[in-house]
Structure 1
Amino acid sequence: MTDMDKVWQRVKLARSADRPTSKSLIKAIFPDFIELHGDRLYGDDEAIVGGLATFNDIPVTVIAEEKGTDTQNRLKHNFGMPHPEGYRKALRLMKQAEKFKRPIITIIDTPGAYPGLGAEERGQAGAIALNLKELMVLKTPIIVIVLGEGGSGGALAIGVGDHIMMFENAIYSILSPEGFASILFKDSTRANEAAHLMKLTAEDLKSFGIIDEIILEGKGLNTDPEVGYTNLKKQISKQLTKLMKTPVEKLLVNRYDKFKKMGEYEESVIKNEELAD
């Protein structure tokens, strides 16, 4: 199997219908989770699931992107593609967490923000931008987990944090391989080639300093999720203890530096595009 084939295999695993969704992960890690609803402005977007829980007796706020399971459930959750009200709900819960000094744990699993006309009319770009701005200065620890797909601003809108973990078969990138191939090669069917160039695997992103931790899956979340869940619990426990002891001012400085690295990574991907042209 070539390197290109290996990367494409990761993309397929990250997108697989057999992969546990955020709700499955929440049930395993946060069994006392209580869901909260609505953005207090427009409505409740079920592509974003958020609420209160405890981890090792520590109160936390959990916010996740949910793709859904069967066809009906996926339609309900809009295939994990949030609308602006979803991002506003996430920000409302994050602000609440800051007020009550609760750490935040976010779970990324989305192909991207919903690109429909209604979402644009209700301020999709502005909602994402506001989340990025507010997350950079939110005075509480934030742990980010990339579960499956991490696509573009749709992922990044809940992805600014102090410690970013990524499951080994997840992907995280500035857009989909198909979208990148359409731009780079003018041919979306060459998505496997684009994925190889994009450096979207956990190993690539760890080497660039974009993520901090790779969560090993054993046989894979798609076949035996318990190994991955156990490894995740250990890392959440370790990082939560560490981050809660870190002064807030230091947290914010480190968070800014991490986000800056991500911007530099995006610039390098764009340069690859321009060189190909």
Structure 2
Amino acid sequence: MHNYLDFEKPVADLDSQIIELKRISGDEGSLDVSDDIARLEKRSRDALIDLYKKLNPWQKTLVARHPDRPHCVDYLSRLITDFTPLAGDRYFAEDHAVIAGFGRFNGEAIAVIGQEKGADTQTRLKHNFGMARPEGYRKAVRIMEMADRFGIPVLTLVDTAGAYPGIGAEERGQAEAIARSTETCLRLSVPLVSLVIGEGGSGGAIAIAAANRVLMLEHAIYSVISPEAGASILWRDAARAKDVAQAMKITAQDLKSFGVIDTVVEEPTGGAHRDPEAAIDAAGRAVSAAFAELAGLDGPALKRERRQKFLAMGRDLKV
């Protein structure tokens, strides 16, 4: 059984009927209900396709946060071979919210930096729900600088509600660490591709996503603030998050039209959580195409292109 979101109730009801018919068919072997099952399965597929064609920004936010959605570790295990994680920022500590290291992508050396939310209670606590502390961003800087030194392309996987806002993180220079990581992205002399796989939240995301190419999964979100936090600031009412999600233009489709991202990666019908392997494979093909586009550029050209990409955002905007 899937973990159904609230707006998926019509599909959940149909799938419950299918399960019940299959149970009856199994208990009473003489009863042939295969035609009924096939009819309901078609209705369920059609209902799912129809629902996901018309998702509003808040519904996309829920899909982006779905607990079964593939996370950073899933992308690493499927796309990256010979991955060797490196720990610590050489200043303070290891931050498990950021996974970083070196491996091979399509047989070529690559540096990978990703934000990991965790898949169950134990791993969510270990990875701090994907919310990095300063040492996480300083670790990212260490890996990017190492990749730059050895001429190795960098791939970043973005999935965070935002940087960790705790007192300790602020005491250790959270803002400076985010700024330094963003600066490092912009001055790399190697290709940098970022893929938003779930949530791209505020500075916590841009710190590893100031890239030559920014890709987003079809139902991911990318915003300056979470809808709930925005609603709390504007109206002192987090319940109005749906209104903020609509107003902020946080979907991949809107951001592509504004030039904030470069590519929207299609997800399987019903979201990446329904077929993680297909979603990861599609993302892998898009990442491969992005690196192929950058292959002929030297260091100064890569830096210049990256700089111009971000300077151009918000200019010549037709509203």
User: Which fold has the larger relative contact order, with Cα–Cα distance below 8 Å and residues 6 or more apart in sequence?
Assistant: 1
In structure 2, the residue corresponding to 1:181 is in which secondary structure?
Answer: helix
CA-to-aligned-CA distance 1:145-183 (integer Å, 9 cap, x gap) = 000000000001101100110000100000000111122
* Offset at residue 103 of structure 1 (A): 0.1
Is the contact made by 2:188 and 2:299 (CA closer than 8 Å) also made in structure 1? Answer: no
Asked if 1:101 is matched to 2:101, the reply is no
CA contact (8 A) 2:201 2:223 kept: yes
Q: 2:315 matched to 1:260?
A: no
Higher mean alpha-carbon deviation, 135-144 vs 180-189, is at: 180-189
Give deviations 1:20-58, integer Å, cap 9, x for gaps: 111011111113211111101101000000011111221
Q: Structure 2 CA distance, aligned partners of 1:17 and 1:5?
A: 18
Of stretches 76-85 and 175-184 in structure 1, the one that deviates more from structure 2 is 175-184
Deviation at 1:5, TM superposition (A): 6.2
1: CA distance, partners of 2:55 / 2:218: 16
Q: Give 1:232 shift.
A: 1.6
Aligned partner letter, 2:280: Y
Q: Secondary structure at the match of 1:140?
A: coil
More moved, 253-262 vs 115-124: 253-262
Structure 1: distance between partners of 2:66 and 2:285? 25
Give me the whole-angstrom Cα distance separating, in 2, the residues matched to 1:196 and 1:5.
11
1:48 matched to 2:98? yes
Aligned to 2:160: 110
Counterpart secondary structure, 2:82: coil
CA-CA distance at 1:257 after TM superposition: 1.9
Indicate the structure (1 or 2) with the bigger Cα radius of gyration: 2
SS at match of 1:32: strand
Q: Partners of 2:111 and 2:207 in 1: how far apart?
A: 16
Name segments (4+ residues, structure 1) moved above 6 Å: none
- Give the Cα–Cα distance (whole angstroms) in 1 for the partners of residues 79 and 147 of structure 2: 19
Residues 225-271 of structure 1, C-alpha deviations (whole Å, 9 max, x = no match): 22222222222222212212112222112111222244x39xx9xxx
- The answer to whether the 8 A contact 1:217-1:225 is kept is no
Q: Separation in 2 of the partners of 1:31 and 1:60? A: 10
Q: Tell whether the 8 Å contact from 1:148 to 1:170 is kept in structure 2 after alignment.
A: yes
- C-alpha RMSD over aligned residues: 1.8
1:77-107 Cα shifts (integer Å, max 9, x gaps)? 0000000000000000000000000000000
Matched with 1:251 is 302
Q: Is the 8 A contact 2:198 2:220 kept in 1?
A: yes
CA contact (8 A) 1:64 1:108 kept: yes
Report the counterpart of residue 85 of structure 2 in structure 1: 35
Aligned partner of 2:258 in structure 1 is 208
CA distance in 2, matches of 1:14, 1:126: 28
- Aligned AA (2:150): F
Number of the residue aligned with 1:235: 286
Q: CA deviation at 1:4?
A: 9.7
Which whole-Å CA distance do the structure 2 matches of 1:14 and 1:255 have between them? 27
Percent identity over paired residues:
45
1:63-102 residue pairs with structure 2 within 5 A?
A: 63-102=113-152
For 2:263, the aligned partner's letter is E
Partner of 1:162: 212
Residue 134 in structure 1 maps to residue 184 in structure 2: yes
* Structure 1 length-normalised TM: 0.91
Identify which of 189, 210, 233 aligns with 2:239: 189
Stretches of structure 2 that go unaligned for 5 or more consecutive residues are: 1-50
- TM-score, structure 2 as length reference: 0.80
Q: How far apart are the structure 2 equivalents of 1:37 and 1:154?
A: 19
Residue aligned with 2:158, SS:
strand
Count of residues paired in the alignment:
265
SS at match of 1:39: coil
**CA distance in 2 between partners of 1:247 and 1:5 (Å):** 41
Q: 1: CA distance between counterparts of 2:70 and 2:237?
A: 31
Residue-by-residue CA offset, 1:178-225 (whole Å, 9 max, x unaligned): 111122223211000100000000000000000000110122211102
1:57 maps to which residue? 107
SS of structure 2 residue aligned to 1:245: coil
